[in-house]
Structure 1
Amino acid sequence: MKHISIILLAWMSIFQTGQGLYMCKNAEISLFSSAPIEDISAKTSSGQSVYNAATGDLVFSVAINTFKFRKSLMQEHFNSDYLESDKYPHATFKGKIQEHPDLSKDGTYQVTAIGVLNVHNVSQNRTIPGTITVSNGVVTMKSEFMVKCADHHIEIPRLVFHNIAESIKMNVTATYTATK
């Protein structure tokens, strides 16, 4: 957790200070894999993010080992065999939101973030759709997107090939607080 906070603080120092800088320290991130034998799902509330509304710059980071599974054996295999969270402890996204919604007005805005998703120490350029909702001054971002295991060199052994999908559905919800 300390490592993530240092990353976010470094990013904050890059951003201009003042109005338009938002932080989230408890983004909810879930993953879902639908496969013929068994569906796999996990969740975490430990995602962290900084969003600069003035520039559109956006960064997300999550510690891989914070994902919680229904079955402890799934969690163990996820961390040790697939994502190797001891070697590659974080997944990150660094990019820019293309649209500039007016966060002073309530509403829901369709947005697109273009940037680099790094999972398993493999970076991929991504275009990720999402929404920004402003309600009574509270800013929330949501996104749903797919991550292909092969794109991030996550190997699925043939023995369990029918248990794990080739693409994993990700859902992200982050509620931001304006920083001063």
Structure 2
Amino acid sequence: MSETQQSDAPTSTPGAWGEPRTRELTWYDPQRIAAQVPHMSGVEFLGQIRDGILAPPPITEHFGLNIDVVEEGRVTFVCRPDESCYNPIGTVHGGVVCTLLDTVCGCAMQSVLPQGKGYTSIEIKVNYLKAVRGDGGLLTAEGTVTKAGSRVGFTEGVIRDASGTVVATASSTLLIFDIPTPRT
């Protein structure tokens, strides 16, 4: 062992880690949710998820995301991350923050799309401005449309912590495409 290494490094076993924790997830068939997209505008589709008329997509259960506001060109989601989202240093994993930003950026684009149109992310650039702690309270994420073209759109996202401090921002480029109406 080199002199720079710690000689008192922990050599623990699962029994020394404390009691295991579990988290149960429940979701509904995502294909049944997606099948509704061709039948309504994006803002109507998102509004129906927010209002509980349509089931939320499974990803929202994984990360505790809830739609708060749906307007044409703007959406907000709230999220209360828990310790199941921690990375090895005890803060909320950046992937959770990125997922929240990708969600609001994409849903903002969906909110301006007409019936029969969908989107997918082409790229997202995230700026992490402050560590997010699981006990830091509610996160509020807002996504807004910068430009919605016929094939490509641009959105921005921002996440604020419970005190209103901006913890992360994003800019996103999205592909806009036709969603075929299923034959019945």
Higher RCO structure, 1 or 2 (CA under 8 Å, sep 6+)? 1
Based on CA coordinates, which of the two structures has the bigger radius of gyration? 2
Specify which structure has the higher proportion of helix: 2
Specify which structure has the higher proportion of strand: 1
What TM-score, normalized to structure 1? 0.32
